[in-house]
A and B are shown apart, each in its own frame.
Chain A
Amino acid sequence: MINSLIYPKIPTLPSLPVSLLAAPVTLLPEKFHATAISKLLNLLLESALQEGELDFLDGQSVSVEVIDLKLRFALSLEHERLVARPWQGQDDLNLRGHLYDFLLLASRQEDSDTLFFQRRLKMEGSTDLGLEVKNLLDGMDMESVRFHKPIDFALQRSVGVYSRLFQH
């Protein structure tokens, strides 16, 4: 007895033109985004970096593509710090999705496998590396992150604002 799927329960993707979101991002040079992303990630993952929990990234490169922002950057580990650079066409793992889906993941409102099953989150390349990344993020105790309260507040707000702005 199979109860077939009746409705997509996670709010679906934005109906506004992609260019509207991408415009402010593409106005700034890619280097700017890479620097901002590096700073933010090193702050968020400070204690995980100190405890060597990102050592699996040694010699590996993970590219993250935010489709609606037309943004793709590559992450690697250098001298125990995360470095983001504009994507140069090579990586060991590529994670791809829309901003809203990344926000849902970052704010822990949705499960990555759920988004993957629904074809919202795409993963290509080394699956083990993908599992390491996913499990690192899932396993992080947010209370150990400096400024976790304002960051969490900002994330939850972003999801709310995004939903209201872009929902069908």
Chain B
Amino acid sequence: MMELVCPAGNLPSLKAAVDNGADAVYIGFKDDTNARHFAGLNFNDKRAGSALQYARERGVKVFVAINTYAQTSTFKRWQEAVDRAAGLGVNALILADIGVMDYASERYPDLNLHLSVQASATNQAALSFYHRHFNIRRAVLPRVLSIKQVRQLAEESPIPLEVFGFGSLCVMVEGRCLLSSYTTGQSPNNYGACSPGNAVRWQEKPDGSLETRLNGVLIDRYEAGENAGYPTLCKGRFQVNGNTFYAIEEPTSLNSLSILPDLQKMGIAALKVEGRQRSPAYVAQVTRVLRAAIDSCHSNPDTFQAQPAWLAELEKVSEGAQTTLGAYHRPWQ
């Protein structure tokens, strides 16, 4: 059965994931070694220890995301994060930087290493490279591939694959995106936060509209009553040739429930939920829905249909309150 991998930015979220049917939960430490480096979020050593204990007692795995890119001057912090995770006895590390992979695979040869979506490996040769050199045992695919491309990769991949099942979408050049860096001067790939809080300002206008600014640059204006999204440049509205519209990406969430039987048939090992920055309520709601859907798909793959109640629950928590199949459904790709 496909493994359900759920996010947790704090201990109550981890408990919510475990209690609602996650097979594995992924977490990060309280620093820039992971791609959700937001104020007050993530686990210190004490909380990580409690998280491990809670999950392990209930037969649930814990993965640690160390999935940003280190620089020469900061490499020690990434090494220490690997050491801390290994010391905790976690089930796997999710890595993106080949230097960090090299360190982890040399130092802890028995530790499971997963390739982060941030590494953005999209072909068999890339996956084989990571497998051969760093003994990577699973890869999370970036969200740029169509379902046809995922199928082809699943047939050729030397290692099991994990794909995104639900969550907020970004412009999907994971690990290589420069948009936030361009506006704020801080790169999400090193710093671990796209649109860091210190650069974000929301302002409600007298007419009820809401303006979003990133480092002083107006990136969107939501009309009164219009659903909002995260304050990222890729989801801003821009004037292009006299038209103002979402020129790069709309604020949407990915929802892959309708292609669950396809993913299962092609032997995808795990389904991932995005959202370590969200609350325990989100984690509980989304985990519950995906647990039910995966179980149902496993029992009846040929007659599986996403239930309206599941879709409604997922749409409720979605960014911009709409969902999409994203790149999975691109016939031209």
Contacts and interface: CB of A to CB of B under 8 A. Distances in A.
Interface of A: 1-7, 9-10, 56, 105, 108-114, 116-119, 122-124, 126-136, 138-142
B222 A7 contact: no
B11 to A, nearest CB: 6
Interface residues of B, number: 53
B322 A139 contact: no
A5 B203 contact: no
A12 to B, nearest CB: 11
A109 B280 CA distance: 9
Name B's interface SS. Answer: mixed
Contacts of B285: 111
A117 B197 contact: no
Contact of A118 (B9, B196, B227, B311): B227
Interface of B: 9-13, 38-41, 47, 196-198, 200-204, 210, 222, 224-229, 231, 250-252, 255, 277-282, 285, 311-313, 315-325, 329
- Per CB-CB distance, the 3 closest pairs between chain A and chain B, nearest first, are A135-B40, A139-B10, A128-B197
Given A117-B318, A118-B321, A7 B312 contact: yes
Nearest to A112: B279
A96 B203 CA distance: 12
Given A122-B204, A136-B40, A9 B11 contact: no
Contacts of B225: 119
B197 A127 contact: yes
Nearest to A114: B317
Given A127-B198, A139-B10, A3 B281 contact: no
Contacts of A135: 9-10, 38-41
B51 to A, nearest CB: 11
Contact of A117 (B204, B277, B321): B321
Nearest to B11: A141
